Amino acid sequence: MSSVAIIDYGAGNLRSAAKAFERVAAALDNGSEVIVTDDPEVVRRADRIMLPGVGAFADCMAGLEAVSGMIDALDERVIKGGVPFLGVCVGMQLLASEGREKVVTKGLGWIPGAVEKITPADPALKIPHMGWNTIAATRSHALLDGIATGPDGLHAYFVHSYHFRTDDPAHLVATTDYGGPLTACIGRDNIFGTQFHPEKSQALGLKLIENFMRWTP
């Protein structure tokens, strides 16, 4: 039986994420087991990995580092092993070279770039950016297959004050608009990240999770 490991490091919506993945896995009927875990050995055996994240960049990075052996396990499976990986919200931001939230904090560095404060062109727009928005694909990607994007597309749920600026435009997959373009999705090789929460994004989110469960990069 294949498995999806959802990383528990004290910084994510684990219950809602697990329920969304379990719902999709049951519908696919492909025998995938969804495991919420803080055990690096379970991660080393996983066929797919999801990293959630809620809160401040520095706190989340510290939480991940505090789980002994977890970053090494992630590096082995994702970077060296090439298993499909999905980072969500701050779990996506941690892929950056660094986060610039109050202090500069080193990230995992899997996708070069920096996480910076949102500065909308319209000063009347409130931060954090919170609510439902459509996304605009900047290039095609398997995880967006079958998802209506653009102004008339499906909506995703966002709640964030910072966003990921990729160094390489090729790593940007989709944007959303909030007083200017904000990064919504990033990706390279077997790695994909969403700033929005798929587990809270209804039709769009469930389809993205389904695509992730089928993905063979």
Residue 7: both structure tokens together: 């990383």
Mean pLDDT of 58-74: 97
Q: What is the average pLDDT value for the chain, to the nearest integer?
A: 95
Partners of residue 114 on adjacent β-strands: 98, 165
Is a pLDDT exceeding 80 seen at residue 93?
yes
- Predicted confidence at residue 96, as pLDDT, reads 98
The model's pTM: 0.96
**Residue 43 Cα distances to 115, 127, 215, angstroms:** 26, 35, 18
Cα distance between residue 61 and residue 65, in whole Å: 6
Sign for the pseudo-dihedral over CA of 202, 60, 71, 194 = positive
Catalytic residue numbers read: 89, 197, 199
Of all residues in the chain, what percent carry a pLDDT higher than 70? Answer: 100
127-141: buried (b, 16+ CB within 10 Å) or exposed (e) per residue? Answer: eebeeebbbebbeeb
- 184 pLDDT band, cuts 50/70/90, is very high
